[in-house]
Amino acid sequence: MYLEEYRKARQAGLKEAKVCQARGGSPYLPVLDEILSQEETCGEVELGLVDVPLELIVGTRSAGRSRALSRSFLPLMEEDSEFAGKWIALCKAHMDEGICDPIKVYEYMHTFYVVEGHKRVSVLRWFGAVNIPAQVTRVLPIRNDSKASRIYYEFVDFYQLSGINYLWFSGVGRFARLQEAVGKAPDQPWTEEERRSFFSFYTRFSALFGDKSAKELSGRLTTADAMLLFLDIFTYDQVKDFTQTQLKSGFSQLREAFSVKKPLQGLDLLKGLLNR
């Protein structure tokens, strides 16, 4: 059974690698050391043990580990390799009792790169896990006036208040708007209960945003962008306790604003709401 899981995961990995090569890209994991060799940084910050969203783990710290896995952390090595044997053992451990040991990662510009635990990430992503515990070191980029830098440092400030690392906005000023939308003062920290409540709401909203019925919104907005629009229509105090049926009903108003019959008008409306 566990060998069959490896075979299926490897087949998917080889397929992904082939597609990447056909498009002229690398079939392997991005390497942070190579990225940082082209960028200016200004230090590192130890964040300690953090739950990291698996979808934000995009690469490896060093090149030595990059060729065993595809860009989605799918295995590429032969079935009789040492790598495959260890992957299969982790697969069994996950299915029998769960994988709890934290990995080690570096965070750079809101994406994560693995130092230790590549196979754990691979197995957990294959089985659809959402988070993994990790010891995180943040690499700080040089602060400048670029849009990317401004958004990133707004995220850093928001993270210090909230401890939330799964949100990302596509425009400047939106982390501060979210802080206000949930009823917090600009410099007011979040409590653990507030983090749990918000995560519950955000998870349920994400399920709607990821649904195929929302495809006219996705691709233009991040999930957090769409959520902020939702909080322009309803207050957070209202929606945080909404049932999924109530959320779905409210979400239809976003889709109406982005009607496929009037896409340009809908896009202008959404841009206006986000940038007001």
Instruction: Check which CATH number belongs to the domain holding 49 and give it.
Output: 3.90.1530.10
pTM of the model: 0.89
Amino acid (1-letter code) at residue 219: G
Which tops the pLDDT comparison, 269 or 74?
74
Domain check: are 224 and 125 in the same one? Answer: no
Domain check: are 127 and 186 in the same one? Answer: no
Q: Which of 121, 142, 163 is the last residue of a domain?
A: 142
Domain check: are 2 and 132 in the same one? Answer: yes
Domain check: are 53 and 154 in the same one? Answer: no
Domain check: are 149 and 229 in the same one? Answer: yes
- Range 232-247 average pLDDT: 87
Q: Which of 107, 142, 177 is the last residue of a domain?
A: 142
Nearest Cα neighbor of 5 from 139, 124, 116 is 124
Classify strands 57-60 and 111-116 as parallel, antiparallel or unpaired: parallel
User: How far from 249 is each of 91, 235, 274, CA to CA, in Å?
Assistant: 39, 15, 21
The gap from C-alpha 213 to its chain's centroid, in whole angstroms, comes to 21
Please tell me the total count of domains within the chain. 2
Residues with Cβ within 8 Å of 129's Cβ and at least 6 positions away in sequence, in order, are 54
pLDDT at 266: 44
Reported as a single tens digit per residue, the pLDDT across 128-148 is 999 999 999 999 999 999 999
One DSSP character per residue, 10-35 reads HHHHHHHHHHHHHTTS-SB--BHHHH
Domain check: are 76 and 165 in the same one? Answer: no
Range of the domain at 232: 144-276
Reported as a single tens digit per residue, the pLDDT across 36-78 is 999 999 999 999 999 999 999 999 999 887 789 999 999 999 9
Domain check: are 161 and 242 in the same one? Answer: yes
Domain check: are 162 and 73 in the same one? Answer: no
Amino acid (1-letter code) at residue 14: L
pLDDT at 269: 47
Domain check: are 106 and 225 in the same one? Answer: no
